[in-house]
Structure 1
Amino acid sequence: MTYRVPTLAALLSLAAFPAVAADLPAFEPPVAVEAVQEGWIVTLKGTGLYTTKFEGAGKYGITGIPGLSIRRPGQPWKFGAPDDGFGFALIDTPYLQFGPVARIRNERDSSDDHKFRGMHDRDYAIEPGAFIEFYPLDVIRVRGELRRGFWGHDGFVGNVAADYIQRFDRVTVSIGPRTEIGDSRFMNTYYGVSNGEAALNGRVTRYKAKGGFKSVGLASAITYDWTEHWSTTVFGGYDRLVGEAADSPVAKKLGTKNVFTVGLGVAYSFDLTR
């Protein structure tokens, strides 16, 4: 996506993981910045992605996205997947987190893909909201996000993810399923087709998308902690459009139902004292 912000990012890892919880090795938190007595521990992230150019597109491109996470001094390290929205926890316990979150959804520029000629362009969407995550086991994280769009779309969209997490010295490995859900406003913005668009494009027919599940998939990541401050993450995943999105002429005629993502991220953590 030239320099675009994708929705979600993820890839099928080649690693295999044990299925029996009783045989799982003990989970060890990765190297982290030492907590200070006052202030915050801030992690800045920069990530490069190779994925579809925009929501519903079939062409691929390279993009870069920023990331940010904040935790209070003394709070234990918590796992963060590369495709999480960025935010911080207002409630933070060993097994439960809750707080504000935000994402940026890529614009749709029809000049990036000639098949979308005649389709309405969409601005970047800012999606603030809230997240909640919990750990039913030390090595299992379940996370949900609910956000509301502004500018690019004005609908509600949510993500649910689960991750199996293992730590091997300085290496952290994760893998787990993903799904995204949108209301009718969100779905119709990206997967609906108006009469005017159908007439101008010529490849598609009118279509009004209803709310529901947009995609299901799988994501995996491997992170290496070089020092207590620096880490590198390689990741990727696969998402398959379902429901109203999969039935849309946007996916059938202009784009694709299968979305692959690979990426490389770098993170720097530091303490911000008062």
Structure 2
Amino acid sequence: MRCVAYLAGLSTCLALSLPGYAQAQSSDYSTLTSPQSAQNWYITVGAGVRYQPDYTGSDDYVFRARPIISLGKGLKSTWWSAEDDTMLSIGVFSGQGWRIGFSGDLLWKRSAKVNPALVAVPATKFGAELGGFAEFYPTSWLRGRVDLRRGVVAHDGVVADFKLDAFSTVGQWTLGIGPRMRITSADYVRTYFGTRGAQPGTGGLLQRYNAGVHTVGALAQVTYHWSDQLKTTAYVEYKRLVGDATRSPIVRPFGSRDSLTFGLSASYSFDTGTSYSFGL
């Protein structure tokens, strides 16, 4: 937890250190909603590529593609978007400095046929995680986000992601940095890190796993806005695996608790031409 506190302090110091930044934006919420009076819905679509661990806890790195699909109000909206946000985000309700909506992620199939280091754990299926998110902005340069999702097909567990981002725009560039923490249920840990054994009454699993903090870390990214619609982003993410999952043999001795992810993405936003409201 010291790591999370340190990264939160680092994020705040970075934002406050930018010349004139705190004075200009500390209480200005006008940039957090669309300047368009119609508040039309817009769609953001894109794709990216990541160089990342083959799976959480692995020390084998692979390139992996990632789609981007987001739906929100206002083409010129400056809601902060982090590269580790879910693949699918649909903002349903929003106000001055907050919004809530649906979120979802895809989960890739994992087995020893793909990576021999997984021979000690059961194979997992291709599936998804579906749920919702809530974002809030204490100031116009700081975002907090919480995602809560449940596994579909791939696992029966629950995942909660907590994020804090300090960000700033300088010309056509936008910079952001912030700490991360993931909490998972016991079912999630058991599915992805449980080992097979012969103990009676364990359902074929050798160890018992508990719910709790699963990973801590941080993300830093830089975005270049070619126009109001088109942008490209480069980023790096650090994660440290903690809790019961670290006892799994795919982490010790065959993997690593620490990992880095490097990524590059491009996305384009366009107006749908409708301003339908959900009534909140």
Cα distance change on mapping 1:67 and 1:60 into 2, 3 Å? same
SS of 1:260's equivalent in the other structure is: strand
Q: Deviations over 1:99-120 (max 9, x none)?
A: 1111112221212322222532
Q: Aligned partners of 1:25 and 1:246: how far apart in 2?
A: 44
SS of 2:253's equivalent in the other structure is: helix
SS of 1:172's equivalent in the other structure is: strand
CA RMSD of aligned residues (A): 3.0
| Alignment coverage as a number of residue pairs | 254
Q: Determine the structure 2 residue equivalent to 1:24.
A: 22
Cα distance change on mapping 1:232 and 1:172 into 2, 3 Å? same
Q: Determine the structure 2 residue equivalent to 1:92.
A: 94
Q: Give TM-score scaled by structure 1 length.
A: 0.83
The answer to whether the aligner puts 1:41 opposite 2:39 as a matched pair is: no
Q: Aligned partners of 1:157 and 1:134: how far apart in 2?
A: 19
1:17 shift after superposition:
4.8
Equivalent pair of 2:215/2:240 in contact (CA under 8 Å): yes
1:208 shift after superposition:
2.3
Letter matched to residue 64 of structure 1 = A
Q: Determine the structure 2 residue equivalent to 1:8.
A: none
Unpaired runs of 5+ residues, structure 1, are 1-11, 198-204
Equivalent pair of 2:122/2:194 in contact (CA under 8 Å): no
Cα distance change on mapping 1:250 and 1:210 into 2, 3 Å? farther
Q: Give TM-score scaled by structure 2 length.
A: 0.81
Q: Determine the structure 2 residue equivalent to 1:6.
A: none
The answer to whether the aligner puts 1:241 opposite 2:241 as a matched pair is: yes
Q: Deviations over 1:76-99 (max 9, x none)?
A: 321110111121222211211111
Higher relative contact order (CA 8 A, sep 6+): 1
Cα distance change on mapping 1:168 and 1:253 into 2, 3 Å? same
Q: Determine the structure 2 residue equivalent to 1:181.
A: 183
1:37 shift after superposition:
4.1
Deviates more, 1:102-111 or 1:178-187: 102-111
Letter matched to residue 59 of structure 1 = D
Q: Aligned partners of 1:34 and 1:17: how far apart in 2?
A: 24
Q: Aligned partners of 1:210 and 1:149: how far apart in 2?
A: 17
Letter matched to residue 47 of structure 1 = G
- Out of 160, 176, 184, the residue aligned to residue 158 of structure 1 is 160
Letter matched to residue 24 of structure 1 = A
What are the equivalent positions in structure 2 for 1:108-123 lying under 5 Å apart? 108-123=110-125
Q: Deviations over 1:19-38 (max 9, x none)?
A: 699962534999x9985848
* Identity level (%): 26
